[in-house]
Every structure is written in structure tokens, then in C-alpha cells.
Structure 1
Amino acid sequence: MNKKTFIDGKEIYCISSNEAKMLYEHINGYLNTEVVINENDVIIDIGANIGIFGIKLSKLFGNKITILSFEPIKDIYSVLKKNSLITQNKNFKVFECGISNKNEQSNFTYYPNSPALSTANPEAWNNNEDLITAVEGNLKHSPTSLWWTKLIPRFFYPLIVKILKKNPIDIKCNVKTLSHIIKKQNLSKIDLLKIDCEGNELKVLQGIEKMHWSIIKQLIIEVHDIEGRLVDIKNILENQNYNVKIVKEESMKNTNLFNVIAIS
């Protein structure tokens, strides 16, 4: 069932109010980087979840920004679609598909108690200790509206993780390559490519044809550093002549999660 909550003074749709507020803090972290966003930019949001990034950009720029948001899981996509409509940004477009290295149907794991964890790569969350550390970081740096979460003692964290991962649902979703989308949408530029797809980030980059790299000005990617993935992604970007910076959010300090910023 879709709920409503207030984010940045605006009522939006969500699946979990607390998670939506955490996502908003996460998005603000993206905006407090070297990434520059201007009017008339084209933004690609891969792993859009319920659309917090699009909501924020639509508030800042109105119809003067184009956002293409991708979310493969139907229950989450339905909320994303509602949120795109309430922004009244006619250039906020949403797509019920994921982005990967092939055009196909792919297996996803949906976590109803924590939709933001949903992934095509459930092994990203196999290590409960990593997830416990991530939960701890999020709670310690939670927004003011969730002040009470800072009072939760650490011995409760394993129980929280167990609840978050409870009753996972395996589903098949459509995925496309980014180059397929570029051709289909006739895109001549991408001012920012944001990738936050819970372990599938390397496949997203592998789905970009050589001819399309030149139209991508900036990237910001959340990377799960599993099996040397961080180095692989850094190498791909540097080989395409991006200036690459790797940063750690304070809330993710002791996890294998990194933000990679690449600017041409």
C-alpha cells in the first residue's frame, strides 16, 4: 500500500516513510559534490526508486530540466510514477525497466520491508555484517525528523537487518542497455548520469556503446566494492578520459559502499 510523507516541505508518495527520509538525505549528499546541474540539463536516474532525486530537481528547476528515471520493480515503479506526476514537471519521464549490459528479462530480489535494498544482485547483501554497518551509519546520520533512531542501541541492529530482509520476493523484470535508451529517446546529450542500482553498476557501464560515451558529461555512481568492482569502474571511466574522484559518505564510512564522481 502506498503511503504519503513530507519531504522538503512537499507531500509525496512512498512505501516506507522512514526510508524516504533517509533517501532524501542520501540525495542531498549527491548534490553537495563537484557535480553541476543547470537549467535545460538532461538527467538520467538509474535505480530511481520512488523518485526522490527527480522530485528534488523538479523543485529546483521546474519544467526547465529533463529527467529520465528508471525503476524495474513494479511496486516501486508505481510510486515513482505517482511522484513524477505530482511534481508537475512535464519533462520528468519514468520507465518501468532496469538498465544493464543486455536487453533481456533479469531476475531481481524485492525486499518489501526495505525497497531501497531491492537488487538484481542479492549477493551484495549476503554479508549481514556489512548491512549492519550500513544500518548503523544511516541511523547515526539520520535526518532531524528521525532523531529517535539515534537512540536505538547497537544490539538491536541485527534484528533490524533481519526485518529489512524478511520475506524477499524473486521477480523477473525488463532491463535495457543505456545505449538502447539513448537511441530510443533520441538523446544528444546526458548532462548527468546517476547510477544507484545496488550492485549492478558495472553492467550499466558495460551497456554503453563506444559512440555514446562522448555525450555523457558527468556521472555519479554508488559502487558496491565487491570483487574489485571499484577499480574496474574507475579504470573504465579513466579510459574514457573522465576525471575520477572516489568519495565516502560519512554514513557509509565502514562499509564497502563508495561514491564515484566522474567529470569530462
Structure 2
Amino acid sequence: MTTQIGGDTQNTEDPDLGSLPANAQLVQLADDLKVYTTSEGEARYIYNEIWADGCYDGAEIPDNPFIVDVGANIGLFTIYMRRKYPLARVLAFEPAPANFLLMRQNLKLANVRTSAPGVVGGVESHPKALGAEDGRARLRYYPNLPGNSTLRPEDKEPLRAALQESMTEEFAAACFDVYETVDVRVCTLQSILECREIKRIDLVKIDVEGAELAVLQGIGTLWNRVRNIMVETMESTGVREEIEALLKEKGFAIKKKSADGLTVIHAYRKNEGKIAADPGGCFNLG
């Protein structure tokens, strides 16, 4: 792995295990949930999005689902799904080294067991990005706004401009002008899953800050195994319609909700894994 800060480049190994970031802090998000994060405000925002707003609720999945978390960040969605579905098996992918280490620590704090042979359920985590093809890519990691770390930094310009207008130039600069460039491994979902004995993927959650279409393209020949997909996309990237067209082409029906420049798309198989009558949260559209 190559980390670039300013003009200096240094090689490191994949962040399998190591010390937490120097600016990590332990934050109490709820009576029964503490997490390590480098941005308390962002962690609380994501927690509210998942727990309070139920943004990823609404998919009809079995009690022992197979779930893929693409863009796992510090692990909040994975923790939520494992608590909601104790028998769930989750594959979690997070390419940013700092976020990956925080996720691993947060899974331990939440008593979420890792997957192992002969064990029902569990979480298997990978320090990788998912994309349209196997290879490597350059990830821009924002230490002050880590959930916005991206393979497509140009997509962050509208958000930076909005923060500058609504807050201050200094705040926007702290969020987006302070960054590290990290060389990360990219795999396709097909390459990860085709050698596994997994016949049904109950839910794929995608929150990858502009690379959503590439992740979907990387499903390759395995589309018929997927029952539900939850995709968060930024309207400013201009790819939502292309994403929806691809999902419909692959036989999915679509439900969506937009707010604050973001759209969460729930794609589901008709008559199978479809939206409940009143799912609540982001998909309670009336």
C-alpha cells in the first residue's frame, strides 16, 4: 500500500492490524454502543441515519441473511445488521486504512464475532475497495471527514463549495484540503464471491462516495444471486439515472428517497425481497 501526503510517498502493507489513528476518540453513541472514530460529528450523523431514520431498513430478508457491506467505514451498518439479525453473515469492505482499523476495533467493542469455519454468522472484513475490475486505485482519505474519503475526489467539489457557503472557508478547508492519498487494492464483487459456495446474496449495501456504478458493474455474472441492493448516491455526481437504468436492466424494481443532495435507492426483486407494506425510515414515502 502506498500512502502519499503532500509530495512524499512511502510503502506500507495492508492494514491488517495496527495502532488506531492518533486522533481516534471513544464516543458513546447510545447506552449500548460505543465506537472509536476520528470524527464524532460524522459518527453521530451516520448513527442517526441508520438507527433513528432506518435508512437501510425495508428489505425483506431471512433471519440468517448473507449481507455485503461495501464502504463499511467504521462499521456502524455492519454492527446494526448483526444486532438486528444475529445469524447474519456479513462481508465488509473498507479501503481506507484508518477506517478499517477503527471498524475492526468497533466490531470487537460491540461483541460482533468474526466469521470462521463451522460458525453460523459472523463478519469477514477486508481492507479493499470494490470496483468494476480488479486492480489498484488511489483513494483520497480525509482525516477530518473520513466518511467522505473517495476514489473520485472531483465529486467532492460541490460539497466543499456548499460547506464554504453555509459554514466558513476555514471549515471547508479543514474538511477537504487536508487529505492523504492512499494506494488501495480494488476487487470486483464477482471475483470475491464466485469461488465461494454462496447461492444467494440477500442484501448488498453500497456507500462508496461516487464509485457506486463501478461497484455494481463489478457484480459481473452474479446478478441472479442478488435479491436486494441499497445504494447511496450523490445527486451532484449525475450518475443516479445510469445506476437506476442498470438496476432495472438486471430485473430489479426500485424504491428511493432523496434528501440533502443524497438519494438512497433500494433495488429489489419483484415478488421476492420486495419493500414491506410500511417499512418506515427512508422508504416510508406514502
Same structural fold, with TM-score higher than 0.5 when normalized by the shorter chain: yes
Task: Give the direction of change, closer, same or farther, for the CA distance of 1:112–1:241 in structure 2 (3 Å limit).
Answer: same
Q: Is 1:5–2:16 an aligned residue pair? A: no
1:115 matched residue in structure 2: 146
The one of 120, 132, 136 equivalent to 2:163 is: 132
Measure how far apart 1:58 and its partner are: 2.2
- Can you give the 5+ residue segments of structure 2 that lack an aligned partner in the other structure? 1-21, 114-121, 270-286
Question: Mind listing any 5+ residue stretches in structure 1 that lack a counterpart?
Answer: 134-153
Name the structure 2 match of 1:83. Answer: 106
- C-alpha spacing 1:11/1:128, structure 2 compared with 1 (3 Å): closer
The answer to whether the aligner puts 1:198 opposite 2:209 as a matched pair is: yes
Q: Note if contact 1:125-1:131 (Cα within 8 Å) is conserved in structure 2.
A: no
Aligned to 1:213: 223
Q: Give the 3-state SS of the residue equivalent to 2:67 in structure 1.
A: strand
Give the SS at the match of 1:132.
Answer: helix
Equivalent-residue separation in structure 1 for 2:159 and 2:238 (angstroms): 20
CA distance in 2 between counterparts of 1:111 and 1:209 reads 30
How many angstroms does 1:24 deviate by?
0.7
CA distance in 2, matches of 1:226, 1:165: 16
Contact 2:150 2:208 in 1 (8 A): yes
Q: 1:231 to 1:128 in 2, by over 3 A?
A: closer
Alpha-carbon separation, structure 1, partners of 2:171 and 2:219: 37
Q: CA deviation at 1:186?
A: 3.3
Contact 1:30–1:220 under 8 Å retained in 2: no
CA shift for structure 1 position 218: 0.5
Q: Which amino acid aligns with 1:231?
A: E
Could you tell me how far 1:131 is from its partner in structure 2?
A: 4.1
Query: Mean Cα displacement is larger for which, 199-208 or 218-227?
Result: 218-227
Would the alpha carbon gap of residues 185 and 131 (structure 1) be closer, same or farther in structure 2, given more than 3 Å must change? farther
Change (3 A) 1:219 1:226: same
Give per-residue Cα distances to partners, 1:39-92, cap 9 Å, x unaligned: 200111100100000111222233x11111100011110111111223333302
Quick one: percent identity of the two aligned structures? 24
Partner of 2:90: 67
Report the AA paired with residue 84 of structure 1.
L
Query: Could you give the per-residue CA deviations for residues 178-237 of structure 1, whole angstroms, max 9, x where no partner exists?
Result: 101112443221111000000000000111113x11111101101123564111111110
Question: 2:60 — aligned with what?
Answer: 36
Select which of 252, 255, 263 maps to 1:258. 263
* Number of the residue aligned with 1:103: 134
Q: Structure 1 residue 170: deviation in Å? A: 1.1
Please, what TM-score do these two structures have when normalized by structure 1? 0.83
| 1:97-130 residue CA offsets vs partner (Å, 9 max, x unmatched) | 0100111110110001110110000011122466
TM-score by length of 2: 0.77
Which residue does 2:18 correspond to in 1? none
Q: For 1:235-254, list aligned pairs within 5 A.
A: 235-249=245-259, 252=260
Q: Matched residues in 2 for 1:30 and 1:185: separation?
A: 30
CA-based RMSD: 2.0
Measure the CA separation in 1 of the matches of 2:209 and 2:227. Answer: 23
Distance 1:52 1:227, change over 3 A: closer
- Aligned length in residues: 237
2:267 partner letter: A
Asked whether the 8 Å contact 1:179–1:207 carries over to 2, the reply is: yes
Query: Following TM superposition, by how much is the alpha carbon of 1:6 offset from its aligned partner in structure 2, in angstroms?
Result: 1.4
